[in-house]
Amino acid sequence: MRDTALAEIDFSRYQRWFDRALGRGRPIKVFDAAGDVLWGGEGATDTELGRRLVEAGDGDAMQVRRIDIDAENTLLYRPVQLNGSAPAGWIGVAAGRRAAHEETDRLAEAFDDVAAGIVEEAAHKLDLRKLTEELAQCYEELRLVYDINQHVQTHSGQDVNMFQQLLQTTAEHMNVDLVVFVRPGDRLCLYADLLSKEIHNLDLVLVEMSGDLYRFVHASGETVVLNDAGDPRRAYILTDMPYRVLACPVRSERKGDSLVVLLNHMHKAPFTNNDRRLAEVLASQLSSLAKSYLLVRNMSQFSEQLAAALVEAVEAKDPYTRGHSERVNFLSMEIGRAMGLAEEDLQDLHWGSLLHDVGKIGIPDAILCKPARLTEDEYTFIKVHPERSYEILRCVEHLKNAMPGVRHHQEMFDGNGYPQGLKGDRIPLHARIIAVADTYDSITSSRAYRPGRTHEKALAEIERVSGSQLDPAVVEVFRRICAAEPQWLERFRIRRDVPSPA
């Protein structure tokens, strides 16, 4: 085994030291733990000596011992013990069996000094290697903690995707096929992958993690590592699933209510102690973040439910408008993504397009559901709804950046819209996007006073008012989306023109 600390030593320096001490050249011999010659070898004889040293074992590391080479020569040697009982190798020098006693003593004394120097240097190199490995482990831990902190700082506490992205960073950092966060009490199972090959039964694996694996780790309170296919614990944990598993409890207020699981295919290297330490670092960090994530997730769910309730309250007033807000929201998001809006802008566009008509909740049913043409006064009442939407929602801090889209979606590109008569680029971009989506759905949806018109007629009307009512740039993006025959035409049951027979 040439990967020992002995293999890193420059023995020529010790050979020169030994020769000066004796006053003449006499080669020292160095063997590794397997008996292979590292220095001073002279062919088959030394190979045989190495084998005999391995068979002789370690003995007293401080005592010089002898082994006969042949009828004329003997080998003075001592084992190199750096840690544990097994020797890291042997150091020897040949001496004549009939040499004078004084000469042998002088040789043994010089050899003992040289051997002690080699052992000391090997021990220092081994200590340095261990220190380097420990520093590397500390670096990995610090880097993981740094990445976690960067995610927390980069993504605000309102970002429910932060936790998912954090798991993805961990998968890439540790090069594992799957990183899973399990919290059965909240029916939460999040994962990120960096698959070396496909996991065909992923859904079943995730179920097992939330079940038997979680219960076992929760009961033991300790990190569980399953590297070997023959591990007896596999009989009741992840049965018949050929994966390496490292599962670490995530403790919150001294209770293990969550689990972090690293999973690899069996063709990858076994999980190491360093992997275990990194998983425990991750678990420690996630213990505090999990509460924040769940709080933000619950707040997000509450916001979605509250928005749905507001939309439902508006649409309950007029059955002909049911689904309008959902469709306008969907089409607005399609346009926003096609325009390459940033994630934060898309989030604001989502809320603005979903809640753009919430102000209609204050319009009397007699006007909102009137099957005939509105009078001028009635239409004036309808024109109030963008400002009313703004007044209802403006106190919600989370929606402040969505308000321009809500308030100005009825503005016209030529300045003849309402409520403020804004023109061109002075109209907020989100409002211009919502206006196109709103116009399309208003044309294709049925009303009390008319049936919905076809997709082709809606596009023709949008083209007609492009530049006057609608922003031509947004219309162009919508035209490209529609040219691809999107699946939502069927989903929203948009009628199509029947082609004329040839």
Instruction: Dump the DSSP string for 150-188.
Output: HHHHHS-TT-TTHHHHHHHHHHHHHT-SEEEEEEGGGTE
The order of strands in the sheet holding 243-252 is 188-193, 178-183, 255-265, 243-252, 224-226
Distance CA 449, CA 299 (A): 40
Question: What is the residue type of 206?
Answer: L
Q: Which residue stretches of 24-90 are H helix?
A: 44-56
The low-confidence residues of the chain, meaning pLDDT below 70, are 1-4, 58-62, 83-85, 99-100, 134-162, 252-256, 287-309, 311-321, 365, 368-369, 448-449, 500-502
* CB atoms closer than 10 angstroms to residue 483: 9
Distance CA 37, CA 31 (A): 4
Residue 85, pLDDT score: 62
Upstream peptide bond of 404 is cis (omega within 30 degrees of 0): no
Contact 194, 177 (CB under 8 A): yes
Domains and CATH numbers, the chain: 5-129 (3.30.450.30), 155-297 (3.30.450.40), 316-491 (1.10.3210.10)
Which regions of 223-351 does DSSP assign to beta strands (E)? 224-226, 243-252, 255-265
Contact 193, 205 (CB under 8 A): no
Question: Looking at the DSSP assignment, which residues form a beta bridge with residue 360?
Answer: none
What are the tokens at 424? 């061109």
Residue 280, pLDDT score: 83
Residue 46, pLDDT score: 83
CA dihedral of 110, 114, 117, 122, whole degrees rounded to 10:
-150
Q: State the first-to-last Cα distance of the chain, in angstroms, to the nearest integer.
A: 84
Distance CA 151, CA 165 (A): 8
